Amino acid sequence: MQHSNKYIFIYSIIMVVVIAVSLTLVAVQLKPAQEDNIRIEKMQNILASVNVPVSEIPKKQVIDVYQKYIRNAIGVNNKGEIVEKDANKVFSIEMANELKKAPDNQILPVFMAILDKGDTAYAVPLRGKGLWGSIWGYISFKTDFNTVEGTIFDHKGETPGLGAEINTKMFQGHFFGKEIFDEKDALVSISIVKGGAKPDDIHGVDAISGGTITSKGVEKMLRDNLTNYEAYFKKQMRK
């Protein structure tokens, strides 16, 4: 059937308007649920970095558990000064956006957790690049701001079975007890050593076989992000 140009124009306009309206309705309806998912995932990551077994916690209870463990959150700048004290605002900071700002304007979150044993741990976010896309995570330290308590890494699309292994317990477990400052209090961060780190190396962990570029990405991410926190960590260590 041959239709006139007028018919085709009116047809397409009506079609586009109907679909635009229905998509908007769906998006607006579902937005709260989607935002909750993103917030809960962030809470799960922060909790996982201080070794709370999040995979065993039902999704609905994550918020309660988070409030139980994470007692405070502050934002610091790269000079080590506290610039944000509202824990909710600190929670909503997106590292991806923060790292785009000039280094002096960045607000860097620090999450304080009280663990089951009564110890305090401090978790900070990480963000960097792997082989195919972004990688991110959290690393937490004991009260000396030097010894690693736990880590969590995740990635956008690293190679399954190779680079993607950074989100496994096997890789993340190696970080426990490692130190980021040397004897002279210089930040050395943690190296990911290809071929395996020596057992007595407190600044190195094993790399992933076949995931060299992702491993290097994790190493660079740790160094870059921890450098931003260096001033704050040193201030705390002196106390």
Partner 1 sequence: MSEQKTAKEKEPMFSAKVLKLLKNPLNLENPITVQVLGICSALAVTVQMKPAIVMALSVTVVTAFSNLIISALRNTIPSRIRIIVQLVVVAALVIIVDQLLKAYVYDVSKKLSVFVGLIITNCILMGRLEAYAMANKPWPSFVDGIGNGIGYGLILVIVAFFRELLGSGKIYGFSVISKALYSSGYMDNGLMILPPMALITIGIIIWVQRSRTSGLQEK
Binding residues (CB under 8 A) for partner 1: these are 1-3, 7-8, 11-12, 15-16, 19, 22-23, 26-27, 30, 33-34, 37-38, 41, 156-157, 159-161
Alpha helices in the chain (DSSP H): 5-49, 62-69, 87-91, 95-98, 169-173, 212-238
Burial 149-188 (b: 16+ CB within 10 A, else e): bbbbbbbeebbeebbbbbeeeebbebbeebbbbeeeeeee
Q: Which is nearer to partner 1, 113 or 164 (CB)?
A: 164
In the complex, minimum distance from the CB of residue 114 to partner 1, in angstroms, rounded to a whole number: 28
H/E element, 191:
strand 191-193
Q: Is the separation of the CB atoms in 154 and 133 below 8 Å?
A: no
Q: Which is nearer to partner 1, 58 or 118 (CB)?
A: 58
In the complex, minimum distance from the CB of residue 15 to partner 1, in angstroms, rounded to a whole number: 6
In the complex, minimum distance from the CB of residue 20 to partner 1, in angstroms, rounded to a whole number: 9
Q: What single-letter amino acid sits at 218?
A: V
- In DSSP terms, 43 is beta-bridged to none
In the complex, minimum distance from the CB of residue 151 to partner 1, in angstroms, rounded to a whole number: 20
In the complex, minimum distance from the CB of residue 32 to partner 1, in angstroms, rounded to a whole number: 9
**Burial category of 143 from C-beta neighbours within 10 Å (exposed 0-12, middle 13-18, buried 19 and up):** middle
Q: Is the separation of the CB atoms in 125 and 49 below 8 Å?
A: no
Number of H helices, E strands in the chain: 6, 8
Q: Which is nearer to partner 1, 55 or 88 (CB)?
A: 55
Q: Which is nearer to partner 1, 160 or 199 (CB)?
A: 160
Q: 3-class SS at 160?
A: coil
Q: Which is nearer to partner 1, 26 or 170 (CB)?
A: 26
In the complex, minimum distance from the CB of residue 174 to partner 1, in angstroms, rounded to a whole number: 20
9 to 12, 128, 215: CA distances (angstroms): 5, 48, 54
In the complex, minimum distance from the CB of residue 96 to partner 1, in angstroms, rounded to a whole number: 16
Q: Among 222, 231, 197, 183, which Cα is nearest to 49's?
A: 222
Q: Which is nearer to partner 1, 19 or 237 (CB)?
A: 19
Q: Which is nearer to partner 1, 159 or 228 (CB)?
A: 159
